[in-house]
Chain A
Amino acid sequence: MTEMSTSRSAELTLLVAGESSAARSARATLDTLIGDGLAEASHVRVIDVLQQPDYALRYKVYFTPSLIVETSTTTTTIVGDLHEIDEVRSLLAAA
């Protein structure tokens, strides 16, 4: 599936702010995606911007949680708690 290959090769960075419910929801979605094989665990990282504010500055992330999807050619930002997994799946596919 082309869908799978795109997201699997992408670098995923989830930026969260502390341990909010939105952060927990986003993490859970990310875990599901990895479990589904839609994302490669080695290409996924989670960063707390309150601990490492430089990342917020670097990615121009003002909203949390934010999932940054970087391929060799594009950068897509998905903002929100990602609780609608299907929606996230299709966004990832489009990335």
Chain B
Amino acid sequence: MDEQPQFHEVEARSVLETGIAGLDHITGGGLPRGRVISIFGAAGAGKTVLGLQILAHRVSMGERAVFISFEQTADSVLEDMAGFSWGADGFPEDDLIVLETGVPTDLHISGRFDMQGLIATLLAVTDASGATIVMLDGLNALLSLLLEEADERRELLRLTDWVRSQGLTVLITAKASAENERARTRAEILDYQTDCVLVLDRLQTGNTISRTLQVTKYRGAAHIGHIVPVVMTHNGVDVVVAASLVLEDSTTSVSGSRPDERMPTGVEELDPLLGGGYLVGSRTLLSGAPGTSKSTLAAAFSLAVVQGGGRVLYVSFDEVRAQLELHTSSVGYSFREPLENGSLRILEESAAGGTPEESALRIIRAVDELGANAVVIDPVSALTSSGQPFVEEALSYLLTSLSQRGVTVLLTSLLHGAASLDDEATNSNISTIADNWIHLTYIANGGERNRALTIVKSRATAHTNQVRELVITSDGIELRPAYAADGDVLLGSARVQKEEQDRTAAWLRSVEYERGEAEILASMAELEGRISGLGNEVDLRRRDLERLRSTRDGALERTATALEARVASRRSGNLANEGEANQK
């Protein structure tokens, strides 16, 4: 058993779900139960909110919790909590005990002391309430009253040892370590003394602030130690990380769709090219330069889904709702009715207004509110090219969360100027995340710019890789087979002209064929005639030969007969001569 000690420890580990899915994910199920957990962060980093939210979740799970603040009054804590969705309804006083503590204002220090009073306080509260989880908020205010660093070390040790002996789970918030030497030492002590350390921080990029969380320590368990993005909304703290793939698999069946079920693309000619449409729950990337009809294709898809009884969330980054409605209705795709009956919702997002992780959360929330089974993100490049630090994390979270819900996703991606397919493939990894990749482009030929559509990839689907011409009519989008000639793809009137030329050439070729065929047939007939004539000649010769042979045979026979006759006659002649002689 000595060979695998860590496995035993993991199995024996008792965790406490925080109710924050992303945090539970990166901590492998939750925070360690019966242990001391430190939450570090600068002022305003969200330490108190995070702690309160975890307590609120534990209370909702039937536990009792105590919140002791050394900085705030009980009223202000309750007031803060009421501002969040999970605290708006309040909690029974016995379930979540908020202690108005604070250090007495008229406090003097004379001589050495310890913090056993705090331990006695915790004992009193937990004994009376049966609470299993305690949060000590702003403990540093208390610790800073301790005279020497050595005292602080000793008292923290005493506190953490006591907590562990009681089986209590204790969250301790502390200011970020960089503030001053004493705070740094305190952080080091806490870091050493506690079993799990969460660090909240903020990262400024331009005018945008990204919130972050890092699990820097988790004794006895594997944890994801890298910095993950955090979003603070009225729902409290959300840790934006993509949950496990296992979940993704199990929820595909939850959505109730067959593995090969397809959604119409909204363009009749496109469906067969993709094996019948977009696979339900798949991700399709529509890339192209401005004006190549990405939004129009997305609108066609949206309306097709809505007409099939589905619900669509259309996330518009570039255009405000009114612009988008106007633009799509001008090409035959009117959003008015589905918007009115609520089967389509437009979510206006602005890449400049915040972080990609905030957008990702808003999109998922809107999907859940609407019960959407398809989402259009137009364009996703607004997110990916935002220059923010957590683009990949946000995108991964967004797409994984949508997959878990079985939502079919259409992402448009804007390529500027001469950006090629290769640029798209290397600049963003969306193309690798996408199941289908449709590229739209302009092809200039003979003074025209025509739109062309190529299916670059379509996972698990037999698809054509031929370029199609995309034509926008008053009835919407139509795809027409493009003309490939001499390595060029011809669209528009060049295609028509080339088609005409080729039709004539084909007619000429067919005439040629007919003529050639007739000649050959005639020649064959002639040869056959000759063969038949020669056959007759052969017959004649054969008959001559037979005649000749029979003639020769007759002559020989006659000769033989004559010889025989002569022999016979000679023989009889001798006898006659003998008779004659005898007569003589």
A contact set with B: CB distance below 8 Å: 15, 17-18, 20, 22, 25-26, 49-50, 53-57, 60-66, 74-84, 87-88, 91
What is the chain B residue whose CB lies nearest that of A26? B111
Assembly CA distance A84 to B145 (angstroms): 18
Whether B116 contacts A91 by the Cβ 8 Å rule is no
Mask of B39-58 contacts with A, CB within 8 angstroms, 1/0: 00000000000000000000
Per DSSP, are chain A's interface residues mostly helix, strand or loop, or mixed? Answer: mixed
B110: chain A residues at CB < 8 Å are: 78-84, 87-88, 91
Taking the nearest CB of chain B, how far is it from the CB of A14, in angstroms? Answer: 12
A64 touches B114 (CB 8 A): yes
- B residues near A83, Cβ cutoff 8 Å: 110-112
> Do A77 and B124 touch (CB < 8 A)?
no
Q: Quick one: which of A49, A54, A62 contacts B142, CB cutoff 8 A?
A: A62
18 further contact pairs, Cβ within 8 A, besides A78-B108, A79-B113 = A17-B117, A18-B116, A20-B116, A22-B113, A54-B124, A56-B124, A57-B99, A60-B104, A62-B121, A63-B117, A64-B114, A64-B115, A64-B116, A64-B117, A76-B106, A76-B107, A77-B108, A79-B107
Chain B residues with CB under 8 A of A81: 110-113
- CB-CB under 8 A from A22, the residues of chain B are 111-114
State whether B121 touches A77 (Cβ < 8 A).
no
Q: Are A53 and B124 in contact (CB under 8 A)?
A: yes
Whole-angstrom distance between the alpha carbons of A25 and B112 in the complex?
Answer: 10
The answer to whether A53 and B121 have CB atoms under 8 Å apart is yes
Q: Which residues of B contact A65 (CB under 8 A)?
A: 113
Residues of B close to A76: CB separation below 8 A: 106-108
Chain B residues whose CB sits within 8 angstroms of the CB of A91 once the complex forms: 108, 110
Closest to B118 in A: A62
Contacts of B118 in A (CB 8 A): 56, 62-63
**Which residues of chain B from 484 to 511 have a CB within 8 Å of any chain A CB?**
none
Residues on A with C-beta less than 8 A from B104 are: 60, 75, 77
A82 to B127, CA, bound (A): 31
Contacts of B116 in A (CB 8 A): 17-18, 20, 49-50, 64
Q: Judging by beta carbons under 8 Å apart, are B106 and A77 in contact?
A: yes
Contact at B121–A61, with CB atoms within 8 Å?
yes
Query: Taking the nearest CB of chain B, how far is it from the CB of A18, in angstroms?
Result: 7
B124 interface neighbour in A57, A75, A78, Cβ under 8 Å: A57
**B251 interface residue, CB < 8 Å from A?**
no
A-B residue pairs, 7 tightest by C-beta: A17-B116, A80-B111, A53-B124, A49-B120, A56-B120, A81-B111, A62-B118
Q: Is the CB of B117 within 8 A of A56?
A: yes
Can you show 10 pairs from A to B with CB atoms below 8 A apart? A17-B120, A18-B116, A56-B120, A60-B101, A61-B117, A63-B118, A64-B117, A78-B110, A79-B145, A82-B110
Residues of B within 8 A of A15 (CB): 117
Chain B 101-141: CB-based contact to A (< 8 A → 1; otherwise 0): 11110111111111111111101110100000000000000
Assess whether A62 is in contact with B115, with CB atoms less than 8 Å apart. Answer: yes
Residues on B with beta carbons closer than 8 Å to the beta carbon of A26: 111
Residues from chain A with a CB closer than 8 A to the CB of B101 are 60, 62
Is the Cβ of B114 less than 8 Å from the Cβ of A75?
A: no
Residue of A nearest to B102 (CB): A60
**Chain A's nearest CB lies how many Å from the CB of B400?**
45
Pick the contact of A80: B102, B112, B127 (CB < 8 A).
B112
Rounded to whole Å, the gap between the CB of B16 and the closest CB of chain A is 25
* Alpha-carbon separation in the docked complex, A36 to B458 (Å): 95
Tell me which residues across on chain B come within 8 A of A53, comparing CB atoms.
Answer: 120-121, 123-124, 127
CA of A57 to CA of B99, assembled, Å: 9
Name the CB-closest residue of B to A57. Answer: B124
Residues of A within 8 A of B125 (CB): 57
Q: Are B121 and A79 in contact (CB under 8 A)?
A: no
In-complex Cβ contact of B113 among A18, A54, A66, A88 (8 A) = A66
A17–B127 CB distance below 8 A: no
Nearest CB in chain B: distance from A40 CB, A: 21
Compute how far the CA of A84 lies from the CA of B113 in the bound complex, rounded to whole angstroms: 13
CA distance A55 to B115 in the complex (A): 14
Is A66's CB under 8 angstroms from B124's CB?
A: no
B81 smallest CB distance to A (angstroms): 21
